[in-house]
Chain A
Amino acid sequence: MSRQGSFGQEVPARRKDEQNTQGRKILARKILAIESSCDETAAAIVQDGRTVLSNVISTQIPIHTLYGGVVPEIASRKHTERINQVIREALAQAGTALDEMDAVAVTCGPGLVGALLVGVAEAKALCWAAKKPLVGVHHIEGHICANYIANPELEPPFLCLVVSGGHTHLVRVVDYGVYEILGKTVDDAAGEAFDKVARAIGLGYPGGPKVEEKAKEGDPEAIAFPRAKVDGNAYDFSFSGLKSAVLNYINGCRMKGIPFREADIAASFQAAVVDALVSHAMLGAETYHEEKMAIAGGVASNGAFRTAMEEACRKRGIAFFSPPPILCTDNAAMIGCAGYYDLLRGRQDDWALNAYPSLKLGEAR
């Protein structure tokens, strides 16, 4: 017996994206979204895909800082403790109730499996009991969709560079929910490299904001770190060589007794990462004659990266889009937005929805 109810009321389409490509008018006007793929427990209420009524994020960063990085088991435990409060807070801040939701969207991958499972099990039980449609959302699609929230005028096609602690993807957004991956990292994600370098120069976790802060006092040209090229796909990234170069530089200085400036290392390392990211993105934009370029993911809140991307786009006459930092970090509003377009395209999940720790972008689940 299916207990899933119908999608919300039908209302007249107003935007191009509300005119469903498959001819079905499916409008989940208010969506409760849940995100628990890593170390933030988050819930949001999103209206009509792009209007954020509330966006609650309960971060675990202070806990994981004790361990120098995210501990999956602890993250899973904290999600379980916090999830109901976070959902209730999101509903309360939006001045709404579960009954008024038209659907529930939840991150089902990729991410830490134990962490994802908490959100997925909670969302399924919630939907089942409240008789709401359920949709599992791809975390990276969520990051990309953060741009729709921040820029109401943005519509596909566009190119998006997704950069976070776990992902580095250059993606062509062909249409809502239709993605073509041009390139991705073959080893470390860019954010991961920030974390590792932060640890090496004693800045601690989380590395991104700490390296960025330190880099402000340093010279980005002080040390010539390598700009890695990957054999094969010109759009693929590699950051493990750069990370090793930083570690070798530090070890070399120590062995020779040469003093080094952490700020110069931070600035030079950051410049090398930004260079690699921007040059790949511009190559994609030129090859595919893209008129619009967006960035997404945790590293998209890095000021040096934003500025460099904006400048590179401006020079080439490409319109540049970026979400504000609150939508770059892991959050549920972006999941609500992505879920809205998934539902609009006729996607819906059943009670067997699972967590998929290595879910590929655009993969059926």
Chain B
Amino acid sequence: MRVLGLDSSGLVASCAVWQDGIIIGEYTTNFKKTHSTTLLPMLDALCGMLGLDFGTEEGKLDAIAVAAGPGSFTGLRIGAATAKGLGLALDLPVVPVPTVDALAYNLWGCGGLVCPLLDARRQQVYTGIYRFRNGEMLEEQAQCVCSIEEQAGILDSLCSREGADGQGVVFLGDGVPVYRSFLEANLHIPCAFAPAHQNRQRGASVAALGADYFAKGHAVEAAAFAPIYLRLSQAERELRERENAEKENPVKEN
């Protein structure tokens, strides 16, 4: 089985090919947000190096896994449209891999809790809480958008409950540089921060977790795939706020 992994959800652009339990190639840059001009050339270069042609019987893929969101709206769409275009041309399904799940998967086997943090701007993070048990990644908190204070409170209570056994939490993601000092100053539990090779999005993690999700049947038709933004557009948000305000204070007709 062969699965392609793509991630362009943040500053990282990455593609990797998972083949029967190993990553046969990965190309990752964490440089500039120029994914529209780099992602496909990177994939082209990677396949060139691997002598891999997805259009042939020997080179064919089984699925395209893509970081489905949350993340940069534009970045997500570049990944989504790339995955959908490949899916259409190669007649392949897309495996949507939640961005935060894939990031947590970087730390597979970690003893304590794993908490990816992606800077979502507007004083918020995209985050989630995961643990690993018996070779499986378990979700303590599904990916969501919230403030760092809220997330710190949830982590404190999770780790202080009975049976938690003084376990700590490992943080990773581009939210770490933004919130590290806050976490070190305010958390009541042991915390650590993942090193360079694990602390950002990786196509390899998307491909590996994507292969797992694909085996479990979590694939969709390429045409049906759309990113998971976790946030409405500003215009939709403002429209809802206006509608709610009108519900609470109905404007009287003159």
Contacts and interface: CB of A to CB of B under 8 A. Distances in A.
Interface of A: 1, 3, 66-67, 71, 73-74, 76-77, 80-81, 83-85, 87-88, 98, 113-114, 117-126, 128-131, 350-355
Contact of A71 (B40, B86, B235): B235
B117 interface: no
Which among A85, A114, A126 has the greatest number of chain B C-beta atoms within 10 A?
A: A126
Contacts, number: 118
Q: A-side binding surface: helix, strand, loop or mixed? A: helix
A87 B86 CA distance: 13
Given A67-B235, A74-B235, A121-B82, A87 B36 contact: no
A111 to B, nearest CB: 14
A287 B83 CA distance: 51
Contact of A117 (B36, B44, B84, B222): B36
Given A80-B84, A128-B44, 12 more contacts: A3-B53, A66-B239, A67-B239, A71-B235, A73-B235, A87-B88, A114-B77, A121-B36, A122-B88, A125-B81, A126-B88, A130-B89
B239 A121 contact: no
A98 B90 CA distance: 10
A164 to B, nearest CB: 22
A52 B120 CA distance: 45
B43 interface: yes
Nearest to A69: B235
A125 B234 contact: no
Given A130-B55, A352-B37, A84 B44 contact: no
Nearest to A71: B235
B83 A129 contact: no
A98 B89 contact: yes
A125 B83 contact: yes
B48 interface: yes
A76 B88 contact: no
Contacts of B81: 80, 83, 117-122, 125
Contact of B88 (A1, A80, A84): A84
A121 B234 contact: no
Contact of B223 (A84, A98, A128, A129): A84
Interface string B16-41: 00000000000000000000111111
B85 A114 contact: no
A80 B227 contact: yes
B74 A114 contact: yes
Contacts of A123: 85
28 contacts: A1-B48, A3-B47, A3-B53, A71-B235, A73-B233, A73-B234, A73-B235, A77-B227, A77-B233, A80-B80, A80-B81, A83-B84, A84-B223, A87-B88, A119-B81, A121-B40, A122-B85, A122-B88, A123-B85, A124-B40, A124-B82, A125-B84, A126-B88, A126-B89, A128-B89, A129-B86, A350-B41, A351-B40
